[in-house]
Amino acid sequence: MSFFDLKGTLSPFSALKQFGRKPHTIQYPKEDKEAADRYRGFHYNEMEDCIGCGNCSTICQNAAIDMVKVEGQEASKGDSGLRPRVDNGRCCWCGLCVDVCPTGSLSLTKDYLYVSDDADSFLFTPGLDNPGGKDNVSFFSTKESSLNDFARIPMPELEGKERIKSFAEVVLGYNEAEARAEASRCISCGLCSEVCPEHMHIPEYINAIAGGNDQDALRIIYDNNPLPEMCGKVCTRRCEDVCAIQTRGEAIAIRWLKRYATETADNAELIREIVNPEIKEANGYKVGIVGAGPSGLTAAYYLALRGFDVSIYESNKQAGGMTMYGIPKYRFPEDSLQKQIDYITSIGVKIHFNTSVGKDISFEEVYKQNDAVFMGVGFLKPWTLGIEGEELKGSEQAVTFLHAANSGLQVDVGDKVAVIGGGNVAIDAARVSARMNAEVTILYRRRVEDMPADWEEIEGAEDEGINIVPQAIPIKFHSDETGRIKSVEYLKAKMVPDEGGGRPKPVPIEGSNTIVEVTAVLGAIGQQGDYSFLKGEFEEKIKTERGRFVVNEFQQTSDPKVFAGGDAVNRTADAISAIADGYRAVKGIEEMLMKKA
Amino acid sequence: MESLLYSILGVLVSLILAFTVGMTYMGLSRKITARIQNRIGPPFYQNFIDAMKLYSKSTGIHHGVMHHLGPAFIMVTSVMSLMIIPILNDSAFFTNMNFHGDLIFLLYIMTFGPLGMALGAGQTGNPNSAIGVTRGLSQMVGFEIPWVMAIIALMIRYDTSSIVDIMNIQADAGRWIMFSSPFTFIAALLAMLGMFRYSPFDIVGAPTELASGPMSENGGKYLFTMMSSSSIFAFAKLTLYVNLFMGGADNLLVLIIKTFALYMVPLLYGTVSPRYRTEQAVRYFWGWPSFFGLLAILYAVFF
Amino acid sequence: MREKATTLYIGPQHPGITGNMMIRLKVEGDTIVKAITEVGYLHRSFEKLAERRNWLQAFTLMCRFCVPEPDPVEETYSRAVELLEGRSVPDRAKFLRVLVLELARISSQLLWYGGQGASLGLYTIGQWSVGDRNYILDLFEELTGARVYHMYIWPGGVRRDMPEGFEKRVLKTMDYLEGRLDEYEALMFDNAIFKKRTQGIAIIDKEKAIEWGVVGPPLRGCGIKSDIRIDDPYEVYEHLDFEIPVYEGGDIWARALVRRDEIRQSIRIVRQVIKEMPGGSYYNKVPNPQKWTIQKGDAYARTEAVRGEIGFYVVSDGSNHPRRAHMRGAAYVHGITLLEDILKGANVADVSSIMNSLGTCPPEIER
Amino acid sequence: MINDKNSQKIVDHIHNFARKHSLWVLAYGTGCGAIEIPPTMTSRYDAERLGVRGAATPRQADLLLITGYLTTKTLKRVIRVYEQMQDPKYVIGFGSCTINGGMYYDSYNTINALDRYLPVDVYINGCMPRPEAVIAGFTKLQELITAGKADGAAKYKEKLEWYRKNQKNVIPNWTMPEYNW
Amino acid sequence: MKENKVKLAKYLKEHFPAIIEKDYNYNRIDFSINRELVPSVLRLLKEESGYIHLSHISCVDWLEEEEFELVFIIWSPVDKIKILIHTRIDRNNPVMDNIDKIWRQANTYEREIKEMYGIEFTGLEAADEFLLEDWNGMPPMRRDFDTAAYASNKYYNRPGREDAMDVREEIARHSGEEIPDFAKKYSR
């Protein structure tokens, strides 16, 4: 060091020139600097978009988010009715809740200011307590930044050209890695299980699959569904419509995951070993079941587990009902069904095949032999189109056609088939026809997006080269000289918005007559029930309304001893509803008989 | 008798004046420092509010008699210093109670305060206070040397030990001692840096080292007493410097300008300097300031 | 003349302490004869808590490990998890990470300016540098959404992309800061008194530095060129052009010079990163956090933080929770044993200054 | 009369005015929130505008900032420090941790609700509260002082037994004097 | 780097035949050895091979296996390789050799591990308490210490949140779903 450090003494005084500079102080609260565009302040929840899945509450590592009942938010399908409430005495504003919110309704705002002398005033319901937060949203979730995986793991399938060559199953199923990955997308909210008619324990078995516990998954599934492989393959899966992920992306492939879980056991013994059901001792009651369809089988299985003596009367030579005879084999192979039926019979359910109630055995007999009767008779009689030429040769009902095809009978439809209708049956009939080397056209009254069939089925049909003609109303079938159908004449339709707020109606355009050449026409516009087996007093006793049995919450008909389920009861007319009916009826039957005892 | 009455009245008025001006200076110093630090700073009257608040605080601390007397000692020192120092030139009202030899008395009384403080702080049992007091005394030993040297040089040069005399000499000569005896002024000025305890000489109450040193155990009214006495003392010291070296002041406005200008020196040096360690500070005072002090004495003796 | 030793407590409540800890000093006059550190005032047991959280939840805890510079900790945890899982990070994320890390370094060094200045009674520098640090925090706020706890760097990349025009604002702030740095240096590093207070104080020599495991600026202040950014490069540091400031001396002054130069180097890095920022994705998405499991194994990642080496040892048992997430704080070693050793024989007046120059940071010691 | 009610009111008013414009904050960084104190006190936000400044020792301080979580070890010191402060004294709790445990709600070493152990006058929302929020906390405290509602210290004296019971509940080895004003 | 690692492994194998190596494809190599030999391995690596920097000492509680795993992470600024030395010790009698004679800083790590896991380091000179004060329960970092239960017992949680509902249970209640007990562990 020098004797006198002149620079060191004088240089610091350069700081004094700051005196002339304007201070850069932000004079809060006199003046305010707005928080950054991405600031993580208070939460804001778009109440209408929120579905109450509770994923925010799960991710919150501070246990700061409670799901609570909020005034004005009622539970509905796909909405638990609960809304998040943040404890600002816990929150650390990390924003993970925003990043995992599947709907993107939860976000953070620029507001951050709250001071209070009351420690209890820090509970905060976003959206309710800051309705103005909408204009202030700063940290929000986009599909890109979200932690939810919106893309479904693609299901391996046969190529379109490949699959029309045979009736081999189109969907190949997930392998283990794919299933784990797909199951890992699930946020376990359980909204799906609410809309499931059967209320299957969906989050639980998906979690089990995600964790690699496939056998547990199967056990959970069998808790209330004895035909999971069927559901895994052909369920209408309304659960996926309300999937939380589906609000911004592709729903979890719940059906395919169930299918994956059922594949862990490839024969009935293995199922029995894994599920290891507890079978109660015989209680002496007998239950007769009419029809071995899904509802009947379900009722039979759970009744048998509960110690009832169950007999099923089935008119066909195989069990399964519509799932056997209605659903084409490329969707639901026969051995899949057989495996499950084997399992059900293995626990003591007796099935009398080729025993048609009403013909081979009278309903009265069944009624008298058993302590309770369950009817899972289904809708067998197809609706007719009611247009000219319907009785022509080559004009057939799709259901009949499918029944024949599924029974292994040879059906000749020629090389040009027209299918009329837009439901799953229509598509099935079309795709089966395609596999018979026919060129298929589907005529449907409304638009493609209005078709009640599954979108996957429609896509599959398109892949297979099936031509879908929407907004087409058939008016006449023309015949050739042999009396066989030659062509279909239809009118093009325009969509007219419904004034009552319903879906748009097709209105035919006059003079737009178009003719399409065909060798066969398959009508698929719906079915109805055939209750001719109910004779005598039962016709009176068991009430029907609009072609369906009237039942209470336990599927009990107006005759207390008779229960009913399946298509003949519910409006949704799908397998899972039928299973649900069967399951409910079990509870009803048990309640009725055991209480009496 | 009348003059005594006047003096007493003058003392009272100058006490109030000293308190007000001293407090305002400290407030302004906070403001000025703030501006250098790129910020707005508190309002200039902030110190009054602080004082008021401190006064309104309760004091429930009991560390013994000396602890109570410590701040009182300092107050007494400040007031006594102020009483002796004339405020204005040739003013019957503001000459206060000066007398011949008051310069020597001042030298004595100005060390009295810190000693009292030492006694008070010693009794609190807080090690920070104890260390702070040791430091304060060491530092005082440091700056007293150039300071005393400067005063001695003045007394030799002008052959008087009365402040009023020195003021009159300057008025007669029409020239401030600052210019006529620059070495004396420099020595005294450098010593003054130590007296004001701004950085780099804020060793006593250095917060990051000793919490607040001797004041550690003093809050509320004690702190109020210290604060007001230190502002009175600051004003007294500034006035003394103005009287001795800058020709005194003919009216209050001039006094305030001169004292404020002088006050800026330690303040601005403080804002840009880190703090010395105790022995560094003492060594500093025994270096250049003492050298100038010695020079001043030699100059006074030989010229 | 031998005085009786008195005991002096520095902390936990003390203006001179860096954080919430205590040093018990045995003092003779102004000289310390013995120093005993006492920590634990901030022990929240993050590592225990992390074992209860899943991999992503634990990430929000991580930035709280070290309050003055949370980002390197996030970075280290994220990188350890990525190493463990074998997850790759997109290039843009790597650049963004370096940007955040270097901005964090600047902001922490500015805070150090304030601490070192205030510990020596030079409050003006702190008022400047901590005030100017807000401009960096404003940048952080814009990029990450928070001022201090950014929770920005997470496994797989970063959370959000840069907002529009952000580059320009970064460069503008860098220009401003560079101008200010000259003023800081004139006030602090040219200052004769500052030199007097720092030169020759608290000397660590090379041998001691190695034996005691000193890291970071204190090590570089002993004349040893050691920086994880160069030695064990991570993210994109090996492609960037910057220097590691090294000074001989091992005293507070040398450490201060190292830190002074590091700010300039960081500004240099920030400019390069902004210039070379590639496009593309910024985030390699992790699976649904509830069900994100990582295969069995362990990983150790290291980062050069402002005060030295931060390491994260992460162990997975195959579940969705960390089995162990153990952090090595930068100040963990020299904040306790070395500090105790250095304080022996030092002056009471220098305690705070020494702590600041070593970068003692109780929160990361105690975790 | 000096001691009558009205003049007492005026005196109180003046005192409260002084108190609210001169809040001396005890320099005790108890938790993470302390990192936002330097920005609050320095040039960019400059709390000294409002008369808020640091105080080095509890004796001189009016305001204790509990900047976040408190470990039991710190709590012990904080109680001591709080009791050493002179009346009137105030406590501001920073952020989530002081309200309901914050992110450390399940830690074995941190308390959850500060108001069980010390009277808290103002809570500031945030984790951690940014300088604007801290200043808002100060202004809120000022409002409370004006309104005469910042009476945490009085409450503490009144319910000392209850506070002591809670404090002793979490501090295993109570070696402090029963009360140390 | 690869050849350095091979050389190193060979060198260590010569001195300590029992050592087990595990190589990673970046600059890391792991060695496992029984606990008695750890200090000699560390000393050898430090003094002969230039692994002068002790980066970390960690401890993992393998409750299910009744063992503690201690990990020493060392680094060579020349080779630029980090070595992880693993050793397992009995959980019921946790004793380890003190290595703070090799690296002074190890003292701090050992103090913490001692306090947090209750592992005894022979010959460690340090105060008993490190981070905790007056702690008289189980060492808190052990896996079987339940911090959440401890905290909820000891500390007060602010009331007012009792109306919180579990979404899954609420949905199940709403729709009449009965989740069997064996499935409940898979609910979130």
CATH at residue E14: 3.30.460.80
Classify D178 as helix, strand or coil: coil
The answer on pLDDT for C335 being more than 60 is yes
Preceding peptide of A29 cis, ω within 30°:
yes
Regions of chain B where pLDDT drops below 70: 1-2, 60-61, 90-98
A106-109: strand order across its sheet: A43-45, A106-109, A137-139
Mark yes or no for CB contact B199/C122 under 8 Å.
yes
Q: Residue E56 sits in which domain range?
A: 2-184
Question: CB C166: neighbour CB atoms within 10 A?
Answer: 15
Phi first, then psi, for residue A50 (nearest 5°) are -65, 140
Query: Torsion angle, CA of B162/B164/B169/B171, rounded to 10 degrees?
Result: 170
State the chains in contact with A (3 or more Cβ–Cβ pairs under 8 Å).
B, C, D, E
C118–B276 C-beta distance less than 8 A: no
Pick among B199, B209, B280 to test the C interface (most C CBs inside 10 A): B209
Q: Going from the N-terminus, what domains does chain D have, and what CATH number goes with each?
A: 5-170 (3.40.50.12280)
- Please tell me the predicted confidence (pLDDT) of residue B50: 87
Is the same domain home to A300 and A388?
no
* D68-79 mean pLDDT: 86
Q: What is the pLDDT of residue B91?
A: 64
Residue among C366, C318, C327 at smallest CA distance from C55: C318
The two tokens of residue A393 are 């040769």
Check which CATH number belongs to the domain holding A367 and give it.
Answer: 3.50.50.60
Amino acid D1: pLDDT: 46
Q: Which residues on chain D are in Cβ contact (under 8 Å) with B217?
A: 57, 59
Average pLDDT, chain C: 86
One domain for residues A359 and A470: no
- Residue A381: Cβ within 10 Å count: 15
Q: Cβ–Cβ of B35/A24 closer than 8 Å?
A: no
Under the banding of pLDDT at 50, 70 and 90, the label for residue C1 is very low
Choice between E188 and A401, residue whose per-residue pLDDT is larger: A401
DSSP string, A208-262: HHHTT-HHHHHHHHHTT-S-HHHHHHH---GGGGS-GGGGTSPPP-HHHHHHHHH
A3-A4-A5-A9 Cα dihedral, nearest 10 degrees: 160
Is A193 close to E172, i.e. CB distance below 8 A? yes
Give B-chain residues touching C110 at CB under 8 angstroms. none
Report pLDDT for B95.
63
A169 and A85 within one domain: no
Test D166 with E150 for CB contact under 8 angstroms.
no
Banded model confidence at residue D2, pLDDT cuts 50, 70, 90: low
Q: State the pLDDT confidence band at D179, using cuts at 50, 70 and 90.
A: low
Q: Is pLDDT of D62 > 80?
A: yes
**Contacts B273 to A, Cβ<8 Å:** 12
Quick check: A92 and D127 CB within 8 A? yes
Our CA-based measurement puts residue E38 at a distance from the nearest CA of chain C, in whole angstroms, of 19
**Cα-based torsion angle of the residue sequence A451, A456, A461, A463 in order, rounded to the nearest 10 degrees:** 130
Cα A53 to Cα A576: distance, rounded to the nearest angstrom: 24
Interface confidence, given as ipTM, is 0.85
Asked if residue A100 is part of any domain, the answer here is yes
Given this model, what pLDDT does residue C4 score? Answer: 66
Name the residue among C7, C121, C347 with its Cβ closest to that of B202.
Answer: C121
Mutation for testing the A interface, residue in E152, E166, E168, E184 having most A CBs under 10 Å: E168
- E151 to chain D, any CB pair closer than 8 A? The answer is yes
SS (H, E, C) chain B: CHHHHHHHHHHHHHHHHHHHHHHHHHHHHHHHHHHHCCCCCCCCCHHHHHHHHHHHCCCCCCCCHHHHHHHHHHHHHHHHHHHHCCCCCCCCCCCCCCCCCHHHHHHHHHHHHHHHHHHHHHHHCCHHHHHHHHHHHHHHHHHHHHHHHHHHHHHHHHCCCCHHHHHHHHHHHCCCHHHHCHHHHHHHHHHHHHHHCCCCCCCCCCHHHHCCHHHHHCCHHHHHHHHHHHHHHHHHHHHHHHHHHCCCCCCHHHHHHHHHHHHHHHHHHHHCCCCCCHHHHHHHHHCHHHHHHHHHHHHHHHC
| C-alpha torsion angle, residues C270, C274, C276, C277 (rounded to 10) | 120
Where do runs of H (alpha helix) occur along A359-480? 363-369, 398-406, 424-435, 455-463
Strand order in the sheet with A123-124: A65-69, A82-87, A123-124
**Is the pLDDT assigned to residue E155 strictly greater than 70?**
yes
Tell me if residue E172 falls in helix, strand or coil.
Answer: helix
Q: Rounded to a whole number, what is the distance in Å from the CA of A106 to chain C's nearest CA? A: 16
**Which is higher by pLDDT, C74 or D29?**
C74
Cis peptide before D88 (omega within 30 of 0): yes
pLDDT at C2: 47
Establish if C12 touches chain D: CB-CB under 8 angstroms: yes
Interface touch D99/A32, C-beta < 8 Å: no
Determine the pLDDT at residue A8.
Answer: 75
- Quick one: A349 and A408 in the same domain? no
Amino acid A596: pLDDT: 63
Q: What's the confidence (pLDDT) of residue B76?
A: 83
Instruction: Tell me if C248 is assigned to some domain.
Output: yes
Give the pLDDT score at C211: 81
Number of domains in chain A: 4
State how far the Cα of C345 lies from the Cα of A90, in Å rounded to an integer.
46
Give me the pLDDT at residue B97, please: 66
Shared domain check, A270 and A305: no
Per-window interface: A 54-93 vs D, CB < 8 A: 61-64, 87-93
Q: CB contact, 8 Å: B139 with chain C? A: no
Q: What single-letter amino acid sits at A205?
A: Y
Token pair 């074998």 in the structure block, residue = C86
Is the confidence at residue D157, as pLDDT, over 50?
A: yes
Nearest to D19 by CA among B58, B50, B220: B50
Adjacent-strand bridge partners of E89:
E68
Cβ of A59 under 8 Å from any chain C Cβ?
A: yes
Residue of C nearest to A61 (CA): C57
Q: Supply the pLDDT for residue C327.
A: 87
Q: How far apart are CA A134 and CA A137, in angstroms?
A: 6
> Which residue's entry shows tokens 């029944």?
A403
Q: What CATH number did the domain enclosing C216 receive?
A: 1.10.645.10
Secondary structure letter of residue E105 according to DSSP: T
Phi, psi angle pair for A344, to nearest 5°:
-65, -40
Alpha helices in chain E (DSSP H): 2-15, 38-48, 106-117, 147-154, 167-175, 181-184
* CATH, residue A176: 1.10.1060.10
Residue A60: domain span: 43-139
A294 in the same domain as A266: no
- The percentage of chain D sitting over the pLDDT mark of 90, rounded to a whole number, equals 0
Chains in contact with E via at least 3 Cβ–Cβ pairs below 8 Å? A, C, D
Strand A467-469 versus strand A548-549 pairing type: unpaired
Give kind and range of the element (H or E) at residue D146.
helix D131-146
pTM over 0.80: yes
Instruction: Decide if C43 is inside a domain.
Output: no
Distance from CA of D118 to the nearest CA of A (A): 13
Whether the pLDDT of residue C323 is over 60: the answer is yes
Contact D100 E145 (CB under 8 A): no
Higher pLDDT, B66 or C271: C271
What pLDDT shows up at residue A1? 40
CB C21 within 8 A of CB C41: yes
Whether A49 is covered by a domain: the verdict is yes
DSSP element (H, E) containing C198: helix C192-198
Write out chain A residues lying below 8 Å of D130, CB-based: 112
Count of the separate structural domains present in chain C:
1
Per-residue pLDDT at C14 exceeds 80: no
What radius of gyration, in Å, describes the C-alpha atoms of chain C? Answer: 21
Q: What is the DSSP letter of A125?
A: -
Region C357-361: mean pLDDT is 83
Q: Domain extents for chain B?
A: 2-302
Our count of domains for chain E comes to 1
| Contact of C326 with C47, CB cutoff 8 Å | yes
**C122 and B36 in contact by Cβ < 8 A?**
no
With a cut of 50, list the residues of chain A below it in pLDDT: 1-2
On whether residue A198 sits in a domain, the answer given is: yes
pLDDT(D132) > 60: yes
Q: Structural domain of residue C144, as residue ranges?
A: 48-331
Cα torsion angle, A65, A67, A70, A73, sign: positive
Please tell me which chains touch C, using 3 or more CB pairs under 8 Å as the contact test: A, B, D, E
Q: Using an 8 Å CB-CB cutoff, list chain B residues near A4.
A: 288
Of B57, B205, B207, the CB nearest to D88: B57
A305 and A357 belong to one structural domain: yes
Please tell me the distance from the alpha carbon of residue B203 to that of residue B128, in angstroms, as a whole number.
12
pLDDT over 80 at C13, yes or no: no
Q: Could B36 and A12 be called an inter-chain contact, meaning their C-beta atoms sit closer than 8 Å?
A: no
To test the contact with chain E by mutation, choose from C204, C324, C341, C342 the residue with the greatest count of E C-beta atoms within 10 A, namely C324
